[in-house]
């Protein structure tokens, strides 16, 4: 077991879920009041509900992550169900207020958005510096 370079406690992002809720809500309202045929509205609203359900399930998975540990060669995510090892992808996005980690393991890919309300400001700053300097 290797010692983590960074150990960041995480909490669910209210900004992320609020933005997604606003986006899906406005899309649904605009679709309801659009001048498209009823059969097309129904089809598109069912698709919107299906996408919303999938996004909600992904957000629940992301919200269950309680700790991010940066290891020398990988990442470790700790949740209520246990710890999993992930390998970092090459398309990590680093901005002033947001970091999106593209992680993968043997079974799936995970896009982990870390917004300004997800972790302490100093922890996110350390993560941004580490991500920019590691290459």
Evaluate whether 14 touches 113 at the Cβ level (below 8 Å): no
Boundaries of every domain in the chain: 1-135
Query: Angle at Cα 57 formed by Cα 55 and Cα 62, nearest 5°?
Result: 90
pLDDT value for 1: 58
Report how far apart the first and last C-alpha atoms of the chain are (Å, whole number): 24
What count of other Cβ atoms lies within 10 Å of the Cβ of residue 70? 19
100-115 as b/e: b if 16+ CB within 10 A: ebbbeeeeeebebebb
Q: What is the mean pLDDT of residues 38-52?
A: 93
In the predicted structure, residue 121 carries a pLDDT above the cut 80: yes
8 Å CB contact between 114 and 126 = no
Alpha carbon distance 110, 59 (integer Å): 11
Separation between Cα atoms, residue 69 and residue 39, nearest integer Å: 49
In the prediction, which pLDDT does 42 show?
A: 93
Could you read off the pLDDT of 65-96 as tens digits, one per residue? Answer: 899 998 888 888 998 888 888 888 778 889 88
pLDDT in tens, 93-107: 898 889 999 999 888
**Host H or E run for residue 22:** helix 14-32
């Amino acid at each position: 077991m290797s010692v983590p370079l960074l150990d960041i406690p995480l909490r669910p992002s209210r900004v992320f879920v609020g933005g997604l809720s606003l986006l899906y809500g406005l899309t649904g309202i605009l679709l309801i009041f659009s001048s498209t045929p009823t059969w097309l509205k129904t089809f598109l609203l069912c698709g919107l509900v299906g996408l919303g359900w999938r996004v909600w399930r992904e957000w629940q998975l992301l919200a269950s992550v309680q700790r991010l540990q940066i290891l020398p060669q990988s990442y470790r995510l700790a949740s209520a169900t246990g710890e999993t090892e992930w390998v970092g992808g090459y398309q990590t996005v680093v901005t002033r207020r947001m970091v999106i980690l593209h992680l993968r393991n043997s079974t799936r890919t995970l896009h982990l958005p870390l917004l300004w309300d997800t972790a302490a400001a100093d922890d996110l700053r350390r993560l941004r510096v580490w991500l920019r300097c590691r290459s």
